Amino acid sequence: MPPLTGFRDFYPEECAGRNAIFSVWRSVATRYGFVEYDGPPLESLELYQKKSGAEIASQLYNFTDKGERHVALRPELTPTLARMVAERHRDFKKPLKWFAIPQVFRYERPQKGRLREHYQLNCDILGEPSLEADAENIALAIDVLRAFGLTSDDFVIRLSDRQFWVDLLIARNVPQEKWYDFFQAIDKSEREPEEKTREKLGPLADEVLGILANGAESARLDAVERSLTVRGFGACYKRDFTIVRGLAYYTGIVWEAFDRTGQFRAICGGGRYDDLLKNLGGVDMPALGFGMGDVVLGELLKARGKAPATAQTLDYFVAIADETVRENAMELVQKLRDAGKRTDFAIAIGTKLGKQLETASARGARHAIVADAKLKSGEAELKDLQTREQRTVPVASLLGVVA
């Protein structure tokens, strides 16, 4: 029976691929001084209904639990992070640089790059209002992509300034309750016919479409771009006011990363959300961050031949050639494992030696240890499965043999 639509089974090969991605994510985030945290996968429904915006609220996996509580599987981690930090903000030195790799759930129409669950690297900086924090966060996203072997030829960060649009809305007297629809219209403008966008934008259509086509001045973007360029990432970004982000809480610099060919959906996206902690927990603390899903990233890496290697290997496979030494062989297996060697053996009694050696190769073992009568006198046959060379060695030396 297959899993539910939009959900994935992770057989060992897929699981290894997923873990290889997680391990790059973790290593680059920690290289940037981020520390790992996590929150609960189930939260109160209210947490998302109020702050994430109508689009994500319509995609929630929600239900009423046995205690009549209205709950939802997390569709994203940012509201949880804001809740957690607001709760204990006095305990932490600012700025906080925190990362997490949650599995998140959205009832979306499954399609290329979009499933109903995905894993998402989240990296957020809290308690720092300066634009250097925005640049630091974007630089981290760039370095994560570089760590997978992607370059500025493969991806581009599309940088934008949501505050620029807010200033324009205020200057044009657009009432605040209409802002969300305005941002949704811009967010969808690339995928919808111009006529539809014009209709949604109404009297602002000419001005807004002009800015989308020709760009505009933003001192905030100037500062972020300068910092990225100094770090050597000048070729990795472009200014693009179409990016406003689908989520409701962003307040400043916003951005998304795309592959250069435009074949895939957004690889990652984020921005500043200076009001979220105040709105959720009554704590005035600036914040920003990004989320990078494993689905689009995985598709892109596969398409570019850059999926991380996932071969499962063993240091030793103990092949039991003579059942009378099985107990000695098991003692050796245990000693090798105690010494930190990845070791396996043929569990089934009486398996032919040739079959055991085939299994050893298939399992990616570097060496087979052939256990025969010599094992009783402290010796074993060591077979290099790549060169097929074989020699008799003292058992004691095996624990020190570097595989």
Would you say 183 or 316 has its CB closer to ligand HAM? 183
Closest separation in Å from C-beta 113 to ligand HAM: 6
252 binds ligand HAM (CB under 6 A): no
301 binds ligand HAM (CB under 6 A): no
93: Cβ contacts below 8 Å, ≥ 6 apart: none
377-382: which pairs have CB atoms within 8 A and are 24 or more residues apart? Answer: 380/332, 381/321
Would you say 286 or 293 has its CB closer to ligand HAM? 293
Residue type, 271: G
Closest separation in Å from C-beta 266 to ligand HAM: 4
CA neighbor of 331 nearest in space, from 359, 383, 369: 369
C-alpha 14/C-alpha 170 separation (Å) is 49
Closest separation in Å from C-beta 358 to ligand HAM: 39
* Among the listed residues 120, 189, 218, 359, the single contact to ligand HAM using CB under 6 A: 120
Both structure tokens of 314: 């063993």
C-alpha 374/C-alpha 372 separation (Å) is 5
Would you say 155 or 233 has its CB closer to ligand HAM? 155
114 binds ligand HAM (CB under 6 A): yes
356 binds ligand HAM (CB under 6 A): no
User: 389: which DSSP letter?
Assistant: -
296 binds ligand HAM (CB under 6 A): yes
293 binds ligand HAM (CB under 6 A): yes
User: 254: which DSSP letter?
Assistant: E
C-alpha 220/C-alpha 135 separation (Å) is 11
Both structure tokens of 16: 């290894």
Closest separation in Å from C-beta 121 to ligand HAM: 9
> Which stretch, 39-47, 108-116, 184-192, 205-213, contacts ligand HAM (CB under 6 A)?
108-116
Would you say 135 or 267 has its CB closer to ligand HAM? 267
Closest separation in Å from C-beta 54 to ligand HAM: 13
Would you say 270 or 383 has its CB closer to ligand HAM? 270
Secondary structure percentages of the chain, helix, strand, coil, to 5: 40, 20, 35
43 binds ligand HAM (CB under 6 A): no
Output the CA angle 240-80-71, nearest 5 degrees.
Answer: 115
Secondary structure element (H or E) that encloses residue 54, with its range: helix 54-57
CB 36 within 8 A of CB 26: yes
How many positions of this chain bind ligand HAM (CB under 6 A)? 23
User: 396: which DSSP letter?
Assistant: H
Closest separation in Å from C-beta 301 to ligand HAM: 13
C-alpha 39/C-alpha 152 separation (Å) is 33
CB 275 within 8 A of CB 251: yes
24 binds ligand HAM (CB under 6 A): no
* Among the listed residues 53, 127, 252, 269, the single contact to ligand HAM using CB under 6 A: 269
* Among the listed residues 62, 80, 122, 218, the single contact to ligand HAM using CB under 6 A: 122
51 binds ligand HAM (CB under 6 A): no
Binding residues (CB under 6 A) for ligand HAM: these are 76, 78, 106, 108, 114-115, 118, 120, 122, 124, 247, 266-270, 289-293, 295-296
